[in-house]
A and B are shown apart, each in its own frame.
Chain A
């Protein structure tokens, strides 16, 4: 089954830019005040600013560079150039320009504040904080600096301080969606639940504004990640039903819930959307994942099929359905679907890998090998293809070839733990396994380093420990394996062996009972498929 993971929370750049832009504009406005005292050099500067106002940033940059070239000792021109560069997204050059301005006029608080804004943008929080403290030391009530320091604190994880600072500039904060998101994030992270309602009220007032809908989406994610589903749902209700982003926000929220293991909530949300007539392939695919997690394969199959019907050209949606069909031993259905995927994307390596998987399941090892090799030819960076080749060797008992392929996989894809695990598994299964313990252990330790959650790596480490009668280690490893995959029947069995050897008979009996239930479920599917004439 495929896993859909969302990266850890971070505020995207598109939400952050406006905060800095507004601060940079202060520098530009400041230039206006000096406009009356015109010099030849000022012509370049004033022209540049005028061009910037028209949105002609490259031309503006050129004029200001000329001003700086002609009069390099004027800090103002350098600051203005920094502002233009910032507007162009050339943050490093902007910072350089601002720092030269500060060198020329170290006491200028505006330059310090602008520099801090750029440093914040570049993630240089310590430097930004230093400049802001400089400003606030001279001018403790500087609202811009307080606001910016609040944003810095939010970034550095000092959420309580961030709330304090941002709350002190509440009007400034709620003027911009991204600042409001930062405040909301800080409130949730610092656990100041009583402050949430105030922000939600602001969001409710602005919900009809397109710009704010995105911010609401972000806040929904933040609330959901913080476990506050009630707030997340309340905010989701704020998004107008005709808003095109509503589905995207809901999907993001559902993915988040799913990845956090809140499958039921994710499924409910997705089902509501579907009931409202939302037709979306991603929605159906995720719904399928939810059904599969809840062991409802029939409903999962339906959802996966709908995902493909919504957008048959999206090749990635075929994978879950093929995998599930194989798991259910509906090999013929899987073959039909693979052929359909191949018709859609004959030059994509993925459907060839899936074909290999199907071939392997129906014991057509030669076909499987050809499929995987073809996939590898189409995309040499496809680790699944190489893993498949090794799996064919494994399945056909060609252990030496399998080990060689896994080792080649390790060399080619050193960060893919599956090759380490596969190689160790082959060595463990070999007649000479007792002589290879050190090698097996080393491979598995590497796998665990790469993928600490690898259920199979922990399981095999447990087996190694058990072979050496290191019962406590074995118990730990099997338990870790079950943490990642609680339905791994063999790990329950192994744990029962460990407990029996430890004399913990009750625990052994309990684990063995779980193993039996899981095993029976696995085998009932197998038997049903076999008697139906489908190998």
Chain B
């Protein structure tokens, strides 16, 4: 049984869809009603422990796939760096599906069975089924790292770009549940480079998505691998043993091909170990900028100069180095307005004892290092962080933080008693004014267990308005989380469809006004680590009632402004860009 599509209306009207209740919730409601028939309500409440914020439903959902990392005695660094996950509705059925990218083999790290990526189709019932083979996505062509999903050719279907070593791959969505490898035609092989995260964004605002690729470091499986030891135990070398690489940026030629414009854009000058990237308009000039998190290389804040070039303002913004001039081990990155001032702030995950960083954007340089003031330093002190995402998990209107962690040195616990090899994910609740409280202890079993987590993607895969999550783990199964609390508050979801702008509307800025609330969100490109998120924007509205309809102002990526008024809450809306002729 197929669920309702998000929209069956014409794409050129700012339409509003009827509230969609998932079958799962419908069944839950039925079950509750049935239980209520046999037991008095008080007894039911007394016997039911409160649900955690998130439930780990990996097994229940049918996710059995495991990542293979090519773990070997050579300890190639790439073994401990992958891998990505993408949330996308590949079959346009209104339900988010999950693409899981496998790692790969190394010369002495071979798999007993053939390696496959997974494409879990969301059945809408809380169950998923792997259709990677049928979709033509199963084959592992390179050592896989990251996933960047977007509709690069504006045909209405989500395409998939895969980063890795020594090649990247672009899969075009044929719109019939299958994909075609169009890498060579598109010119996106990125050959010879170890690519990590990538972000789709329209840097020249021509209505077609361009692509920036973070290249991490020089790597070769030939010859002798760099050898490093901790207390006579072979382990991964520090990142600095690997020479960094320049960024690559590809301009979309609007015909299915891309041109490498790294040199004319100036991005090829930025050589370093880039791992995470988010594309967002940092300086509020209407053009998308890039924040690049780099590992033991200074972070970059690449401001779009509107002429196809970028300039780094990392030093001016004071985000490049720590206070001692050391480049931190930047991994994941995300941007969002955590303090309600309408400007995108930035979070970066780092290595243990560096703290994950939170930079507040006050509208002038430098950014304010808000790490300690936000209480982010304490909970992240001993962690090695990777995937990260601002997410309003309880829909109270304030962006919270989810972070996944995991160390890279197997013997670390014998060296640093306070540091663990496998680490717990973190859920930090925004108390207002960008001050966070660690609520991991009540976030469910997944937050009390330890993982070698890497990628993290956020998306509402059960369409209940409460953002869910999935994160990947080295050499292990992913962890799929269902949000149990977001539905308790009001919310509103928006799916933007660009017409003049790129169809995914990546780069759009949305400002919601409802009651006394004014919330700003962006549809950013990239973010987190190696992962790709739900492209719908969900605004948490707290206890706002349905008698308070909300207005949303959308500044489209091409600069046009549109206001969607009196939107009904607690449902998704599909909003199509209005084009003035």
Judged by a CB distance under 8 angstroms, whether B220 is at the interface is no
Q: In the complex the two chains form, what is the Cα distance from A387 to B377 in whole Å? A: 26
Q: In the complex the two chains form, what is the Cα distance from A432 to B377 in whole Å? A: 8
Q: In the complex the two chains form, what is the Cα distance from A463 to B315 in whole Å? A: 17
Judged by a CB distance under 8 angstroms, whether A241 is at the interface is no
Judged by a CB distance under 8 angstroms, whether B419 is at the interface is yes
Complex contacts, B252 vs chain A, CB 8 Å: none
Given A365-B415, A515-B325: 13 more A-B contacts, CB < 8 Å: A362-B231, A396-B417, A397-B416, A431-B381, A432-B378, A463-B323, A466-B323, A493-B321, A494-B323, A519-B325, A526-B240, A533-B226, A533-B227
Given A363-B415, A397-B353, A397-B418: A523 touches B228 (CB 8 Å cut-off) = no
CB-CB contacts below 8 Å: A484-505 with B: 489-490, 492-494, 496-497, 500-501
Q: In the complex the two chains form, what is the Cα distance from A140 to B381 in whole Å? A: 80
Judged by a CB distance under 8 angstroms, whether B185 is at the interface is no
- Which B-chain residue is minimally distant from A397 (CB atoms)? B418
Tell me what chain B mostly uses at the interface: helix, strand, loop, or mixed.
loop
- Which B-chain residue is minimally distant from A519 (CB atoms)? B325
- Which B-chain residue is minimally distant from A518 (CB atoms)? B325
Complex contacts, A500 vs chain B, CB 8 Å: 315-316, 366
Judged by a CB distance under 8 angstroms, whether B120 is at the interface is no
Q: In the complex the two chains form, what is the Cα distance from A492 to B378 in whole Å? A: 29
B238 to chain A, nearest CB (A): 6
**CB pair A396 B231 closer than 8 Å:** no
B244 to chain A, nearest CB (A): 11
Given A397-B381, A397-B419: A533 touches B324 (CB 8 Å cut-off) = no
**CB pair B372 A489 closer than 8 Å:** no
Judged by a CB distance under 8 angstroms, whether B221 is at the interface is no
Complex contacts, A363 vs chain B, CB 8 Å: 230-231, 415
Q: Which 10 A-B pairs have the closest CB atoms?
A: A493-B325, A431-B377, A431-B378, A533-B227, A490-B324, A530-B241, A397-B418, A396-B416, A490-B325, A364-B231
Complex contacts, A519 vs chain B, CB 8 Å: 325
Q: In the complex the two chains form, what is the Cα distance from A526 to B296 in whole Å? A: 13
Q: In the complex the two chains form, what is the Cα distance from A527 to B238 in whole Å? A: 9
**CB pair A531 B241 closer than 8 Å:** yes
Interface residues on A, range: 20 to 34
**CB pair A432 B381 closer than 8 Å:** no
A344 to chain B, nearest CB (A): 26
Complex contacts, B227 vs chain A, CB 8 Å: 533
- Which A-chain residue is minimally distant from B326 (CB atoms)? A490
Q: Of the candidates B237, B315, B325, B418, which one forms a contact with A530 in the assembled complex, judged by CB atoms under 8 Å apart? A: B237
Q: Of the candidates A362, A489, A530, which one forms a contact with B226 in the assembled complex, judged by CB atoms under 8 Å apart? A: A530
A463 to chain B, nearest CB (A): 6
Complex contacts, B377 vs chain A, CB 8 Å: 431
Judged by a CB distance under 8 angstroms, whether A476 is at the interface is no
- Which A-chain residue is minimally distant from B318 (CB atoms)? A497
Most buried by B among A398, A429, A489: A429
Complex contacts, A535 vs chain B, CB 8 Å: 228-230
Task: Render A355-385 as a binary contact track against B, CB cut-off 8 A, 1 for contact.
Answer: 0000000111110000000000000000000
A530 to chain B, nearest CB (A): 4
Judged by a CB distance under 8 angstroms, whether B352 is at the interface is yes
- Which A-chain residue is minimally distant from B417 (CB atoms)? A396
27 example contacts (A-B, Cβ-Cβ < 8 A) are as follows A362-B231, A363-B415, A364-B231, A365-B415, A396-B415, A396-B417, A397-B419, A398-B417, A429-B353, A432-B378, A463-B323, A490-B325, A492-B325, A493-B321, A494-B325, A497-B318, A500-B366, A501-B366, A515-B325, A523-B240, A527-B240, A530-B226, A530-B228, A530-B241, A533-B226, A535-B229, A535-B230
Judged by a CB distance under 8 angstroms, whether B457 is at the interface is no
A109 to chain B, nearest CB (A): 70
**CB pair B325 A431 closer than 8 Å:** no
Complex contacts, B382 vs chain A, CB 8 Å: 397
